[in-house]
């Protein structure tokens, strides 16, 4: 009886041991599963950029003087030179990828591009989705109409009128806020062509872009009738997240250095004939 009792006790203890070991195993497995579910630690984007040696920059390539092709079909412009200078500050080269305006942000979202450098204005709505650098430009939105138009002299006069602007641009949003019907257009050239042909009543764009166009095409049959009171801040958007924090800080530092040493002002004077890099 004693031997049987002893064996029975061993069996009970053994079973308990198995249960206890199984419990440990299950706990370890659960922790491993949780760790796996959390996924790998986010990759530091600045480190990845410096490892590959290139900063992938999304831009339109069709918005003079910000980003466009010159007579030799070379990609040039204020944003092109700014992005190139920023890349040098990071110790890499700028690699430009051109695309339609709304596609630039889709590419940024998916990780195909590191940054968008295309005269992007900081807005409250955009700040919900992206983190922005410090400003590297300040602009006013201008309202343009045909030279013979006397009906539209203020933004409030856009109610019930038609404008042409890039889809999802701040100019489209502003025009709609004043009651205009907006036709989506890809480039500034197309916009002005529609305006002077009488196919739309007005258009909105950066004041410096209109001034540049009139400087190149003094015969263009349109005029600027109104400007926004406050200057918009032109910044570089990056994806929100832990992985972009060091990149954002490095870009901020680089922009301030380029502003302090006069590089931004020099580039701005070359493309706009004025310094847009500092708020006046």
126 and 251 share one domain: yes
Distance CA 173, CA 148 (A): 26
Q: Hey, what are 221's tokens?
A: 């049959």
**pTM for the predicted model, two decimal places:** 0.76
Q: Hey, what are 219's tokens?
A: 């015969």
Domain with 74, as residue range(s), is 45-137+234-272
81 and 157 share one domain: no
Distance CA 29, CA 32 (A): 5
Q: Hey, what are 57's tokens?
A: 């920059």
154 and 130 share one domain: no
pLDDT of the chain, 280 residues: tens digit per residue: 433 333 343 343 344 444 333 333 333 333 344 333 334 455 899 999 999 999 999 999 999 999 999 999 999 999 999 999 999 999 999 999 999 988 999 999 999 999 999 999 999 999 999 999 999 999 999 999 999 999 999 999 999 999 999 888 899 999 999 999 999 988 889 999 999 999 999 999 999 999 989 988 999 999 999 999 999 999 999 999 999 999 999 999 999 999 999 999 999 999 998 899 988 6
203: domain CATH number is 3.40.190.10
- Decide if 240 is inside a domain: yes
Give 41's DSSP letter: P
């Amino acid at each position: 009886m004693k031997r049987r009792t002893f064996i029975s006790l061993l069996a009970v203890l053994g079973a308990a041991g198995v249960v206890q070991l199984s419990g440990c195993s299950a706990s370890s497995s659960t922790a491993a599963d949780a760790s796996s579910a959390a996924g790998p630690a986010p990759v530091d984007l600045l480190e990845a950029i410096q490892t590959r040696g290139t900063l992938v920059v999304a831009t339109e390539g069709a918005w003079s003087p910000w980003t466009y092709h010159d007579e030799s079909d070379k990609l040039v412009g204020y944003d092109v030179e700014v992005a190139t200078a920023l890349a040098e500050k990071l110790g890499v080269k700028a690699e430009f990828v051109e695309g339609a305006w709304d596609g630039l942000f889709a590419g940024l979202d998916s990780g195909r591009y590191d940054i968008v450098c295309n005269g992007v204005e900081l807005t409250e709505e955009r700040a919900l989705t992206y983190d922005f650098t410090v400003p590297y430009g300040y602009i006013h939105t201008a309202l343009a109409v045909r030279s013979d138009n006397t009906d539209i002299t203020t933004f409030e006069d856009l109610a019930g009128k038609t404008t042409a602007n890039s889809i999802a641009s701040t100019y489209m949003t502003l025009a709609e806020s004043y009651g205009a019907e907006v036709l989506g257009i890809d480039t500034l050239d197309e916009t002005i062509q529609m305006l002077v042909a009488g196919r739309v009543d007005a258009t909105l764009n950066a004041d410096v872009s209109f001034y540049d166009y009139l400087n190149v095409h003094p015969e263009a049959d349109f005029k600027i009738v109104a400007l926004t009171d406050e200057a918009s801040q032109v910044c570089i958007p990056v994806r929100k997240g832990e992985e972009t924090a060091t990149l954002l800080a490095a870009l901020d530092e680089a922009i301030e250095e380029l502003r302090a040493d006069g590089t931004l002002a020099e580039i701005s004077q070359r493309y706009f004939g004025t310094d847009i890099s500092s708020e006046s």
